Amino acid sequence: MTFSLPSIIVGTLLVLFQLLAAVPWLLLILLNPDELLALRRGLGEGFGSRLGKRLVFAGIALAISVVVGVAQMALFGQASQTAGVIYGAILQLQLTIDFAILFFAILLKIWPKGGAVAQAAFRESVRQPMYWLLFGIAFVLMWISVYVPYFTFGEDHIMVKELGYDTIMLVAALFGTLAASMFVSEEIEGRTAITLMSKPVSRRQFLLGKFVGIMAAIALMFGLLGCSFEGVMLYKHWFDRLDPVPTPPWVMTLLTKHLGVPPGPAFGFLRGLGEWTNHTFETLPGLILSLCLVTVLVALAVALATRLPMVVNMCFILAIYLLANLSPVLVGYGQRALQQKDSGAVAQILSFTSRLFDTILPGLSYFRLGPAIVSDAPLPTGQFWGYVGAASAYGVMYTCILLLLGLILFEDRDLA
């Protein structure tokens, strides 16, 4: 395969973009917290020499990566489209990690005290063995689901997609409620919160900081598992020997008309990258709604943890989760019972109770697209994202109500 100028240019730009995305976590690995603080302030005795040595090694590694990337782009050949998909997956993982790093860098600037509590809660979350155990369980279950026969007459990939969303949601919800119960309740019961609030950190900053830190850890889990889930879906499509996934029209229009990329390895590579990007946007709505559902449950767990111990809190969350999912069914039963001629007091009590639960409890069914998200039928893009936006706004509103309830319960809690 001969080297071509478009391949070399595209390869260089993409490798440099990949390395630019690696800068935040590369600095986090190369520098310790004191050196990062010195880097921000421009101070630190001996900092320049230590930083210089590490940057030399990092520069050598980056230069090697650029050379390898350019040569790889020139020699990809027929495999260039698959390489573009792999590049997109790696880039998505890096951007997910960058988001977690830059989020706290910005949060500490605009909310120093609460941001410090949130950062501590985030670090405590990701250092928990339970965090990575649940992550590993979800990762393994999603890949095992590829090989399980579902007897759906050629639509097994739909079942894998629905199970993938449910697996990510359940694992994240389990960790979030456990972490909220432990971090808030144990610090209050163990009198650690008294020491923290003597910094001084207000009760509002303590409670909201814990919630933000736990949700940041859950968002990181969603990002990592979401990238794995996208790979599972592509592999399932290949494993079932289905028809090749068609390239989205907007990708072909962008490459041919707007960028003018000629046919060759560079075109195939960018085509694969575009297919992965399109697959990411197709998977994103289900992940957003699942994250909203988990956010509501974690906010409820944080609010109740100000008054209840961990075991009681977990039982309460489980009961609310079951009742919130069953309340629409109970409302239907109550309506049918009232319509019968011999309906009595039992039917009226059932109808009233089901309507009460449906009004007070969060509508968790709003965060599950069900057949809409897993079907192959095309949906109107505007209406589809409109529903996602409305459901997300409902989740944010309900989360704010629960956090306000938690602040009220925590305000007069005796910490001594």
pLDDT digits (tens, 9 = 90+) for 31-81: 555 555 555 555 444 444 555 555 555 555 555 555 555 455 544 444 467
Q: Which residues contact 11 (CB under 8 A, 6 or more apart)?
A: 69, 70, 72, 73, 74, 266, 269
Residues 6+ apart with CB under 8 A from 168: 138, 142, 221, 222, 225, 226, 229, 287, 290
Give me the half-sphere count of Cα atoms (radius 13 Å) on the Cβ side of residue 196: 24
> Nearest-CA neighbor of 326 among 286, 365, 373?
365
DSSP 152: S
Q: Indicate the domain borders of the chain.
A: 1-41+48-75, 80-320+388-411
* Separation CA 291–CA 297 (nearest Å): 10
The stretch 384-406 carries a mean pLDDT of 92
pLDDT in tens, 190-228: 666 666 666 677 888 889 999 999 999 999 999 999 999
pLDDT at 36: 55
Q: Closest Cα partner for 157 from 374, 382, 395? A: 374
Q: In angstroms, rounded to a whole number, what is the distance separating the alpha carbons of residues 60 and 66?
A: 10
- 111: helix, strand or coil: coil
Side chain identity at residue 80, one-letter code: S
Q: How confident is the model at residue 377 (pLDDT cuts 50, 70, 90)?
A: low
**Chain center to CA of 365:** 19
d(CA 17, CA 66): 10
**pLDDT tens per residue across span 223-274:** 999 999 999 988 888 777 666 667 788 888 888 887 777 777 777 778 888 8
Q: Say what the pTM is.
A: 0.84
- pLDDT over 50 at 381, yes or no: yes
Residue 294 near residue 172, CB atoms below 8 Å: yes
Q: Cα–Cα distance between 108 and 122 in angstroms, integer?
A: 13
